[in-house]
Amino acid sequence: MRIVVLVSGTGSNLQAVIDAVQAGALPVEIAAVGADRPGTYGVERSAAAGIETFVVDFKQFADRDAWNAELARVCSSYEPDVVVSSGFMRIVSAEFIERFDGKYLNTHPALLPAFPGAHGVRDALAYGVKVTGCTVHWADAGVDTGPIVAQRAVVVLPEDTEETLHERIKVQERELLIEVLGELARA
């Protein structure tokens, strides 16, 4: 199974996928890693691992439609079976989703449908939940909507801050993403 991974930041989930692939534990080929802005550590990690990288800089386009079209074109050029949004902080268009025939996999640091959006961990803490977690789902044109593939729960500790809780969620998110990709590759 060929994947293209999209990142916006450090790429810690991506690094877990790279490590699993290099260890022979995950039967996927990372065709490329792309970002929405230059200078992301996720792209640097990928380049260091010998993986092809690209940047479709959001700021270089006149509007969101033009950016989406170019992102879709570049991703398509790698002929992926699945495009993985892993900490990718841009909402892609319905046309982007359709281009990949609904094979756009997203990770989210909350138990969807609760706490969608960019601040799932902060929102869960503010609401006072005792359990939150992470979700891997097939993205659709909504914000953190689409069919849920898998979830993992994480208990909220009384002393948790947004940072400590998010770090514990990331551990589960990495494991869950690798598990889901492995199941998809073996299907």
Quote the number of domains for the chain.
1
Domain extent for 75? 2-186
**What's the rounded Cα separation, in Å, for the pair 52 and 119?**
30
Kindly give the confidence (pLDDT) of every residue in the chain, 187 residues in length, as a single tens digit, with 9 standing for 90 and above: 999 999 998 899 999 999 999 999 999 999 999 999 999 999 999 999 999 999 999 999 999 999 999 999 999 999 999 999 988 989 899 999 999 988 999 999 999 999 999 999 999 999 999 999 999 999 998 889 999 999 999 999 999 999 999 999 999 999 999 999 999 999 9
Q: Write the CATH number for 92.
A: 3.40.50.170
CA angle, 145 then 1 then 57, to 5°: 60
- The pLDDT of residue 101 is 84
Q: Is 108 a catalytic residue?
A: yes
Point out the catalytic residue in the list 108, 119, 137, 166. 108
136 class by beta-carbon count within 10 Å (0-12 exposed, 13-18 middle, 19+ buried): buried
What value does the mean pLDDT of the chain take?
96
